[in-house]
Amino acid sequence: MSAAPLNSVYLDYNATAPVRPEAIAAMTRVMGRVGNPSSTHAAGRAARAEMEAAREAVAALVGAPPANLVFTSGGTEASNLAIASAVAAGAKRLIVSAIEHDCIHATAQASDAAVEIWPVSADGVADLAWLDARLAAWDAADGAPFVALMLANNETGVIQPLAEAAQIVRAAGGWLHVDAVQAAGKIAIDMGALGADTLAVSAHKIGGPQGAGALAFGPRATLFRRQHGGGQERGRRGGTENLPGIAGFGAAASAALRDLPHYADQAAWRDAAIERLRAAAPIKVFGANAPRLANTLCFAAPGGSSETLVMALDLDGVMVSAGSACSSGKVKASPVLAAMGETDLAGAALRVSGGWASTETDWVRFTEAWLSSHARLQSRQRVSAA
C-alpha cells in the first residue's frame, strides 16, 4: 500500500497516519455484514464479537483490562470524557501541563473548575518539583487534584516522566489523566506501570480510521456518562457504536503492537537527517536533551518561516507540518514551543514525523528537499541585502 501520493513523501504521521491494509480489510469485512452489537440475534452477536475482539486488541496496545476501555469518536472525546468525569466527581481545580493538546486545555477551560498550568523545562519536560510542591500545598476544599500530562508530545515527541508524576499525584489522592494519542504504537505502553487513572488513545494516529478512539480507566477513576442514550459501552457512552471504525481500530492496534520495533529504527534515520541539516545551517532541535519518540523531529533554523517552508517542501513533494495539525488548517506559532521558552524560533519550526510505512529513503528525500529550500531562501536573502 502506498502511504502517500505517487512520487511524494509523507512525513506527517503525528497529524494522521495512512490507514493500514489490516484496518481496511477489517472495516471492509464488517461493512459487508449487518448487525447492531446490541441486538441479541445471530447478526447482532456476530457484530458484538467483532467489537469485543477490537476492544481486546486496543486494550492490549495500552496494557489495560478490556472491560475498562470505552470506545469514543476519537482522542478528543476520550479526554473530554475524562475531564468531565473528574469535575463531576468533585474536582474543583485542574492542573494541566503547558504542553497539552488543545483538546485538554480547551475542555479544562470550558469546565466549571479553576485551571492551573503546570510549567515545563526548556526541553519540554514537565517540572516534577513544581508539581510536588503544588500538591503538597493543595487545599482540600478544591476536591481531589486532577492532573493532565500527556505521555509524548505531538509536536516535539518529548516523552514525559509519567511514572514519577503518578507517584506524586497518587500520594496526594489525585486523578492522573494521560493523553497517549501520540505515544500509542510508537513506544510500549503499560497503563498500570505508568500509574494512569485514565488514558486516551486514537485510531487514526496508528493507521486506523479517523473517527474512532478510546478511553481506558483504572479502579481509582469513576466515569460519568456525557453522551446519553441507550446502555451502550456498559452504560458509559450512549449511541450505537461505530463498528467499522472500531474494527479498523482493533486491527490497527494489533498491527501497531507487532510493528513497535519499526518505530525504534527511525531514530537512526531522524538523527542522520539532523546531522546533514546541522552541517548546512545552525538549526535548533527542540527537546534534543530529553527522551523523544524515534519518529519525531521538531526543529527550526533562524530566519525561516514555518508557513513558507511547509509550502516549499510541499511543492517538492514532501509533506511535513508546522506543528499541531488541529488548528483548522492554520499555521500559527506553537504554544508548546512558547512554553519551552522558544518564542523567537516558534514561527520557524517544522515537525517531521514518520510512521508505519516510512522508509529511510523518505527521510533522505525530506533532508534533500529542506536543504534545497534553505539554500534558495539564503540566496534570496543575500540578493535582498545587496
Residue-level pLDDT at 232:
85
Residue with cell 529504527: 265
Residues in the chain: 386
Which domains does the chain possess?
9-18+261-385 (3.90.1150.10), 21-257 (3.40.640.10)
Residue-level pLDDT at 383:
61
C-alpha cell at 201: 488513545
Question: What sign has the CA pseudo-torsion 319, 322, 327, 331?
Answer: negative
User: Cβ neighbours of residue 370 under 8 Å, at least 6 residues apart?
Assistant: 277, 309, 313, 318, 350
Nearest to 172 by CA among 199, 194, 139: 139
Question: Backbone dihedral region of 81: left (phi > 0), alpha (psi from -120 to 50 degrees) or beta?
Answer: alpha
pTM: 0.93
Give the torsion through C-alpha atoms of 357, 359, 157, 271, to 10 deg: 170
Q: Give the residue numbers annotated as catalytic, written as ranges.
A: 326
User: Beta partners for 299?
Assistant: 285, 350
Q: List, for the chain, all residue ranges whose pLDDT scores fall below the cut of 50.
A: 1, 325, 327-328
Residue-level pLDDT at 237:
86
**Alpha-carbon gap, residue 103 to 345, rounded angstroms:** 24
Question: What angle, 0 to 180 degrees and rounded to 10, lies between the N-to-C axes of helices 21-31 and 42-62?
Answer: 160
Burial-class residue 79 by CB neighbours within 10 Å (0-12, 13-18, 19+). Answer: buried
Are 63 and 189 spatial neighbours (Cβ–Cβ below 8 Å)? yes
Q: What angle do CA 210, 213, 219 make, to 5 degrees?
A: 175
Classify 107 as helix, strand or coil. helix
Residue-level pLDDT at 230:
84
Residue-level pLDDT at 303:
84
pLDDT in tens, 94-116: 999 999 999 999 999 999 999 99
